């Protein structure tokens, strides 16, 4: 398959190497020193003590890469607007676009069944409706990533979750399509776990239940995910936050598996904390603001989540990393 990774940072670069080594024609949209290094020496994945290098096409200009069978966007939610203007040269009539990102996605309302509970207005996730205008529902595939990675130097990415590298995918209307089967097989052949998903929004909420808590708590404390989970002062806080988060998730997706305790956590700073420390735009809207909006739409009282959201937004504003 011709597969383009749009926004090949840490996670995208990891997947690009695995897909290329599995025999696929892989192209990457990337920029800066990372791009320069890949053009010169290829893209290297470090897994434990093993280094694997793959030659991939790479450019900051999608027009140089040509039409693709699949585009996998690994852009963070804060940069996903780049797809609205950059995607067109990569598209054929049947090109699918996988949105593999954290949190509530901009397309959440597309393809919902008629009996789904009323959701909040999520227009703030796609300002001006640019993505909605550029990408029709028929192209959209939802994606949920479970994989911890870090660019350790330009051209080299380290996989920090050796036993857990997964990309869950599903049509936005949850039909089981031929293209989903083909892509799932391609991912599995590349040692990227991709089991069948009956409801892609269930997968989204399942990850969000812990991600929105541990990641934001890491932002507020400056600690790694493991340190937050193991901190005695958080022993009573995390379960109370989980109770509220579970209530929101199950109101909209009754089938979602409730999280009753925080499971294994990497001794690694989540991306939202890394972005804060590096002065980059942060995924606060998809991880904090959107879940709070769902709670309000359902008429649920979530004082712990509301407080955490307010503190996260204020912390980001103090560093001019959040508007307003």
Is 149:158 a contact under the CB 8 Å cutoff?
Answer: yes
Q: Is 291 helix (H, G, I), strand (E, B) or coil?
A: helix
| CA distances for 7 relative to 28, 78, 92, 159, 196, angstroms | 7, 12, 19, 17, 25
Alpha helices in 87-162 (DSSP H): 130-134
Which one from 92, 137, 207, 257 is the annotated catalytic residue? 207
Residue 98 vs residues 12, 19, 283, 310: alpha-carbon distances, Å: 12, 15, 18, 31
List, as one string, the DSSP characters of 201-219.
HHHHHHHHHHIIIIIHHHH
Q: Is 207 a catalytic residue?
A: yes
CA distance 273 to 283: 10
For the chain, helix (H) and strand (E) counts, in that order, are 13, 11
Query: Are 133 and 84 spatial neighbours (Cβ–Cβ below 8 Å)?
Result: yes
d(CA 313, CA 321): 9
Give the residue numbers annotated as catalytic, written as ranges: 207
């Amino acid at each position: 398959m011709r597969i383009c990774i749009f926004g090949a940072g840490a996670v995208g670069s990891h997947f690009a190497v695995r897909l290329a080594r599995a025999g696929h024609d892989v192209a990457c949209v990337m920029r800066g020193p990372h791009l320069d290094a890949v053009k010169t020496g290829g893209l290297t994945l470090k897994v434990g003590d093993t280094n694997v290098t793959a030659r991939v096409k790479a450019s900051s200009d999608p027009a140089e890469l040509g039409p693709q069978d699949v585009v996998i966007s690994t852009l963070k939610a804060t940069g996903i607007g780049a797809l609205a203007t950059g995607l067109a040269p990569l598209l054929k009539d049947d090109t699918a676009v996988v949105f593999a990102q954290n949190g509530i996605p901009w397309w959440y309302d597309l393809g919902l069944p008629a009996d789904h509970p009323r959701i909040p207005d999520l227009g703030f996730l796609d300002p001006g409706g640019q993505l909605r205008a550029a990408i029709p529902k028929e192209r959209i595939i939802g994606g949920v990533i479970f994989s911890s990675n870090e660019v350790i130097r330009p051209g080299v990415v380290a996989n920090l979750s050796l036993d857990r590298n997964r990309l869950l995918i599903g049509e936005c209307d949850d039909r089981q399509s031929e293209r989903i089967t083909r892509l799932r097989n391609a991912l599995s052949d590349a040692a990227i776990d991709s089991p069948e998903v009956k409801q892609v929004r269930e997968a989204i909420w399942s990850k969000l239940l812990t991600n929105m808590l541990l990641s934001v708590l890491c932002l507020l404390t400056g600690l790694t995910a493991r340190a937050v989970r193991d901190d005695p002062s958080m022993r009573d806080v995390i379960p109370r936050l989980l109770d509220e988060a579970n209530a929101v998730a199950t109101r909209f997706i009754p089938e979602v598996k409730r999280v009753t305790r925080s499971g294994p956590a990497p001794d690694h700073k989540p991306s939202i904390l890394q972005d804060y420390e590096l002065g980059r735009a942060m995924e606060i809207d998809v991880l904090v603001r959107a879940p709070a909006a769902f709670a309000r739409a359902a008429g649920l009282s979530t004082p712990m989540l509301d407080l955490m959201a307010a503190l996260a937004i204020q912390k980001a504003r103090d560093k001019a990393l959040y508007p307003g």
